[in-house]
Amino acid sequence: MREVNVALIQTNPIIGDVEENLERMDRQIREACTSHRVDLIVFPELCTTGYECGIRFNDLAERVPGSTTDYLAQRAAEFGTHILFGMVEKAKMESVIYDAAVLIDPDGEILAVYHKAHLKGEEKLVFRPGYRYSVAETDFGALGIMTGWDLAFPEAARALALQGAEILAVPTNWENPHADEWRTYCSARACENSAFVVASNRTGEEYTYSFFGNSVVLGPRGQVLHTIEPSEEQEHGLKGVQIDLSEVRKAREEFKLLQSRLPRTYREVVRMY
């Protein structure tokens, strides 16, 4: 068995208040790690800033490494865990910012930085899209990262699976009334790649959007292992889940989905329309 303890943390960030959001994340990390060992904590997309910041994102953007990653690196090192969270990253060119997901390892080192590739609606007016999918080699296994609307594109998850990803970790801001799409996409990405999906979605309301939570862990056959229901009474939702990565190899050997691909028949998939 290759057991991994995962904690999903479902937050409702205060829009534009990075300091307060980081303090909340600190409390949530401590709560997750004090009761039992945690190998991976997954926060939602843009959890340090909120979603509807518009042009304020330019002021809220930070370099990586920077003050936010330094702060959370201390928590990762203190509790010996990996932390994956969403933030706004400022590129070397001041005018370029990304909707980023950052993975910090138990030594407090930045293990991976992913830039969201599939931008939706007004996101295109603010962020530069990413263009690369890569897998982070962690202490427990191979971790692929997607963000938000990336989940709707099977090509993104498949690219990660073909690089060996055993877990697809997805920080998101998935809004109402699209809960049915969310559940379907999460299950499909897990099943079609014989991989675990660990997806953390936020809660709460902003100016024009509301978010429904339902963060979820799915097994490599698309089965729902755990989910978090939104709760108005709680500051956040927290779920600790133990998964066994040996199930990935078992599912891939049984179904042979990746081995049975026929890339020569897929030319239309990569055609630019």
- By the 8 A CB rule, do 102 and 64 touch? yes
Query: Strand 196-201 and strand 167-172: pairing?
Result: parallel
Q: How far apart are CA 202 and CA 145, in angstroms?
A: 17
- The tally of CA atoms less than 13 A away on the side-chain side of residue 210 is 6
Q: How far is CA 140 from CA 7, 47, 106, 190, in A?
A: 14, 25, 11, 18
Residue, of 128 and 237, whose pLDDT is higher: 128
Residue, of 191 and 35, whose pLDDT is higher: 191
Residue, of 240 and 226, whose pLDDT is higher: 226
pLDDT of the residue at 233: 44
pLDDT of the residue at 235: 54
pLDDT grade for 103, boundaries at 50, 70 and 90: very high
pLDDT of the residue at 236: 63
* pLDDT above 60 (res 94): yes
For residue range 127-173, list pLDDT tens digits in order: 999 999 999 999 999 999 999 999 999 999 999 999 999 999 999 99
- The tally of CA atoms less than 13 A away on the side-chain side of residue 125 is 7
CATH topology of domain 3-270: Nitrilase/N-carbamoyl-D-aminoacid amidohydrolase (3.60.110)
pLDDT of the residue at 16: 96
* Beta-carbon count within 10 A of 9 CB: 26
Decide: residue 93, CB within 10 A, 0-12 exposed, 13-18 middle, 19+ buried: exposed
